[in-house]
């Protein structure tokens, strides 16, 4: 059993410029908030720089008082003014940061709300072919991981990234003004500082990617094991599963420890590196203060800025990776939004009061080019006829139903509904006249009544109950504690497979379609329930064109016509008695199944 999975990891965007340009279309409605937030961020950065510099005038006042250049009283009064200014500056910084953060948070929430709505709407009308080629978990990650990553980056990381860049530039300029020579000392250490940040950062990001990949593999194994616990116990595989889990768990523990260790290393390394720079600046600064007239205040301010100089650089390196990851997330979202949707043209015909006549005329179809699924398929079905489609697995039976509903468009030939080519019919109008009961049932969170009404949202309670009676579902529904108001969760948790299928049939019945498709509709129902369902289905089929796909040939004996498919071609057509008498493929299949039925 293979459980290899790739972690989400940090990725670089493929087209940064195009992604940013497209992302701004979501931010444009809030550009006023963004401008205000940017201005406030600049103001907060200036206030922060002044806070680091403010030690200079205070220390100069103390020095002047010590050297008797000013009186103690004047020093005290001037110092109170400086402290008041500093208090105002700190208040402005806090207020600016708070307001800027809230504005960007609102921009993030609103823009991501729009993107989430657009993504969901797009997926609801995307080609079925696209959904067939995608994994459910991968699409879900667009809503969870990718939009969450993008939201966090827009809400805080981008603003602080700008703030750190401004802080780094501003600190360097102020340091240069205070003392060019001391600034040169810092610049000498600057390449080494960048090297340390890049080296540790690269190791940390690699370890983080490996940790995420290991976590994905561990979670995937846990999910599969829990979902398959019955099979696991049936084959007495508990010990082997425990060993496999131990291997995944140990791998994650090791990689998690490595990742966290490297993460913890960055801060103490930067602090010690800054202390080395601080020591050099202190020694040289003291010499300059004694011999060149550098004021104690300027030296104090310079030292203060030196101690915090590496912090914005470290944060920029980390945030740059986060921004890259967010842009990659945006690309993945835009990739989904760029996938084709089902085409609807203004010239498409709207169907009203159709009879339900369906004609396949020399239809060729393939999901993948040069790999034909159907080849020259022709047949017709009239109102009140039951057409059965049988054949081996992979013969193309379900493909025919996908073409009738126009989930896919054919390559050659034509499909007509009431003598209108379906490529000229509005897809939604076509499907409003088609009801489907699939082998795999899918129920939604809500009451039983709401699930039945899903087939036609304007159906009354009485119509839903009538549909349930038609499908012979009314009896078991009324025996539930809350009857039709019983809440369904987890795709029908608490209901048997047969009961779920009965609700599925009732949902199709309430839609009152002219064309009915039953794809292995009774395959999950026991023989007793099947008899009840068939009685209801016979009533449901009255006045409709019905297509039945079934492996159990006993369910199609009363069909008006039976089509036998093999390798995408019709090899036999006729009713049950004719095909049995023919002695061909259908007769062989029917004989084999009859021999398996106890007499």
**Statement: residue 420 has pLDDT above 90:** yes
Taking the domains of the chain in order of start, what are their residue ranges? 14-179, 180-293, 349-433+515-599, 444-512
Intrachain domains 349-433+515-599 and 444-512 with the same fold: yes
Q: What is the mean pLDDT of residues 162-169?
A: 86
**What DSSP line would sit under 99-125, residue for residue?**
HHHHHHHHHHHHHHHHHHHHHHHHHHH
Closest of 454, 437, 455, 469 to residue 477, by C-alpha: 469
Identify the CATH homologous superfamily for domain 349-433+515-599. Answer: P-loop containing nucleotide triphosphate hydrolases (3.40.50.300)
**Statement: residue 123 has pLDDT above 70:** yes
Q: What is the mean pLDDT of residues 119-132?
A: 83
> 29: how many CB neighbours lie within 10 A of its CB?
12
DSSP helix/strand/coil, 7: coil
For the sheet with 420-421, list strands across it: 374-381, 358-365, 412-417, 420-421
CATH architecture of 14-179: Up-down Bundle (1.20)
Q: What is the mean pLDDT of residues 470-476?
A: 86
**Statement: residue 408 has pLDDT above 70:** yes
- Six token digits for residue 379: 């047949």
8 Å CB contact between 307 and 63: no
pLDDT value of residue 449: 94
pLDDT value of residue 412: 93
pLDDT value of residue 450: 92
Query: pLDDT tens digits, residue range 171-189?
Result: 888 888 888 888 887 778 7
Which of 44-53, 488-497, 523-532, 577-586 shows the lowest mean pLDDT across its residues?
523-532
Confidence at 57, pLDDT banded by 50, 70, 90: confident
Confidence at 444, pLDDT banded by 50, 70, 90: confident
Query: pLDDT tens digits, residue range 527-570?
Result: 666 676 677 677 777 788 999 887 777 778 888 899 999 988 99
DSSP helix/strand/coil, 297: helix
**Locus of tokens 């979202």:** 333
d(CA 455, CA 453): 5
Confidence at 253, pLDDT banded by 50, 70, 90: very high
Q: What is the pTM of this model?
A: 0.71
Fold of 444-512: Rossmann fold (3.40.50)
Which of 45-54, 59-68, 146-155, 269-278 shows the lowest mean pLDDT across its residues?
269-278
Give Cα separations from 278 to 108, 189, 198, 339 (angstroms).
Answer: 39, 11, 21, 55
């Amino acid at each position: 059993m293979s459980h290899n999975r790739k972690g989400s990891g940090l990725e670089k965007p493929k087209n940064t410029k195009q992604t940013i340009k497209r992302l701004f279309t979501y931010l444009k409605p809030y550009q006023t908030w963004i401008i205000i937030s940017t201005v406030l961020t600049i103001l907060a950065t200036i206030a922060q720089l002044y806070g680091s510099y403010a030690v200079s005038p205070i220390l100069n006042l103390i020095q002047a008082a010590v050297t008797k250049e000013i009186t103690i009283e004047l020093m005290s009064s001037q110092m109170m003014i400086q402290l008041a200014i500093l208090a105002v500056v700190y208040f402005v910084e806090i207020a600016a940061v708070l307001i800027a953060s809230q504005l960007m948070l609102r921009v993030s929430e609103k823009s991501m709300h729009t993107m989430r709505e657009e993504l969901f709407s797009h997926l609801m009308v995307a080609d079925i072919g696209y959904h067939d080629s995608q994994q459910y978990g991968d699409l879900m990650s667009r809503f969870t991981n990718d939009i969450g990553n993008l939201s966090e980056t827009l809400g805080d990381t981008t603003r602080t990234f700008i703030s750190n860049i401004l802080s780094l530039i501003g600190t360097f300029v102020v340091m240069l003004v205070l003392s060019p020579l001391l600034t040169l000392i810092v610049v000498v250490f600057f390449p080494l500082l960048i090297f340390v940040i890049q080296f540790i950062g690269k190791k940390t990001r690699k370890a983080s990617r490996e940790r995420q990949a290991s976590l994905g593999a561990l979670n995937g194994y846990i999910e599969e094991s829990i979902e398959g616990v019955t099979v696991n116990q049936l084959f007495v595989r508990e010990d082997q599963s425990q060993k496999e889990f131990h291997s995944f768990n140990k791998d994650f523990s090791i990689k998690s420890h490595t990742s966290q260790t490297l993460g913890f290393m960055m801060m103490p390394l930067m602090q010690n590196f800054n202390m080395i720079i601080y020591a050099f600046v202190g020694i040289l600064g003291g010499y300059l203060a004694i011999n060149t007239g550098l004021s104690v205040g300027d030296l104090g301010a310079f030292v203060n800025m030196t101690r915090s100089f590496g912090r914005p650089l470290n944060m920029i390196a980390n945030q740059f990776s986060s921004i890259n990851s967010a842009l990659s997330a945006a690309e993945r979202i835009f990739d989904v939004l760029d996938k084709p949707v089902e085409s609807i043209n203004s010239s498409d015909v709207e169907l009203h009061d159709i009879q339900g006549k369906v004609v396949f005329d020399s239809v060729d179809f393939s999901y993948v080019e040069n790999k034909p699924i159907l080849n020259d398929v022709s047949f017709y079905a009239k109102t009140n006829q039951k057409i059965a489609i049988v054949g081996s697995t992979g013969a193309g039976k379900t493909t025919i139903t996908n073409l009738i509903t126009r989930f896919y468009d054919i390559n050659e030939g034509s499909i007509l509904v009431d003598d209108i080519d379906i490529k000229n019919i509005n897809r939604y109008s076509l499907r409003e006249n088609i009801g489907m009961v699939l082998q795999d049932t899918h129920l939604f969170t809500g009451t039983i009544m709401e699930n039945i009404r899903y087939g036609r949202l304007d159906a009354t309670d009485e119509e839903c109950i009538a549909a349930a009676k038609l499908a012979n579902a009314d009896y078991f529904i009324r025996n539930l504690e809350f009857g039709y108001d019983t809440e369904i969760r987890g795709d029908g948790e608490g209901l048997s497979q047969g009961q779920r299928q009965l609700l599925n049939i009732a949902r199709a019945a309430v839609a009152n379609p002219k064309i009915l498709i039953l794809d292995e509709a009774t395959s999950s129902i026991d023989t007793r329930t099947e008899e009840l369902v068939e009685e209801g289905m016979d009533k449901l089929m009255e006045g409709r064109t019905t297509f039945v796909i079934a492996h159990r040939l006993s369910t199609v004996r009363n069909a008006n016509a039976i089509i036998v498919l093999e390798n995408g071609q019709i090899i036999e057509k006729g009713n049950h008695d004719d095909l049995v008498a023919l002695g061909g493929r259908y007769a062989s299949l029917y004989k084999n199944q009859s021999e398996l039925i106890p007499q």
